Amino acid sequence: MEKFPIINLEKLNGEERNSIMGQINDACENWGFFELVNHGIPHEFLDTVEKMTKEHYRKCMEERFKELVKSKGLDAVQAEVNDIDWESTFFLRHLPVSNIAEIPDLDDEYRKIMKEFAQKLEKLAEYLLELLCENLGLEKGYLKKAFYGSKGPTFGTKVSNYPPCPKPDLIKGLRAHTDAGGIILLFQDDKVSGLQLLKDDKWIDVPPMRHSIVINLGDQLEV
């Protein structure tokens, strides 16, 4: 069985650069996914993002989700449900215009942390686009310019929690889908394996790794 691609970004600065660039190229061509370690975002900061996100869910969203489940009768379903996702989410838009000040229930410290998180992810995303340009033989800045367009890029953060489900064999956390955007950076739970990708007609687990960032090429970049 093929091994899920894990890229050590730190090694790009040394004598293994050519090998790492080859690994990125192979992951993009044959997987559309890879997992980044040593990506430059401090581990302590990621721990803070995770801690505050889980606290926000418990404080502001957990009861709301339970009420929604109850109102839809999802805790008592007997047959597979194909038209709903078992997730509790909210969405932060960063670019071209931020909505972070308008999201209810976020305390000031959490807003500040998520704004900083977005800035770090944007910087990492732009760096990755430069690496992809290099692998594709495109001029420096080509992909960034393409995604910026005339009004700047669309960039946001979807924050998702997947509470325990009483019927996990009947309701998916998130249904099979593709991501329509350019490049997706995912900071996932490192203890519970839930994310899967379809490769060669088989569903493959994306291994949960502490402090890693999972990269998914969206439909636009694939095209």
Q: How confident is the model at residue 34 (pLDDT cuts 50, 70, 90)?
A: very high
Q: What is the CATH number of domain 6-221?
A: 2.60.120.330
Q: How confident is the model at residue 11 (pLDDT cuts 50, 70, 90)?
A: very high
- Contacting residues for 84 by C-beta, under 8 A, at least 6 apart: 72, 74, 171
Reported as type and span, the H/E element at residue 169 is: none
**What single-letter amino acid sits at 144?**
K
Each residue of 83-101: pLDDT tens digit? 888 999 999 999 999 999 9
Question: Nearest to residue 4, comparing CAs of 33, 28, 29, 25?
Answer: 33
- Contacting residues for 205 by C-beta, under 8 A, at least 6 apart: 4, 193, 195, 196
CB-hemisphere CA count at 13 Å for 69? 22
Q: What percent of the chain has pLDDT over 70?
A: 100
Peptide bond between residue 207 and the one before it cis (omega within 30 degrees of 0): no
Q: How confident is the model at residue 172 (pLDDT cuts 50, 70, 90)?
A: confident
Tell me if the pTM is above 0.85: yes
**Strand positions, DSSP E, the chain:** 6-8, 33-37, 88-95, 155-161, 183-186, 196-199, 202-205, 213-217
Q: What percent of the chain has pLDDT over 90?
A: 74
Average pLDDT of the residues in 198-210: 92
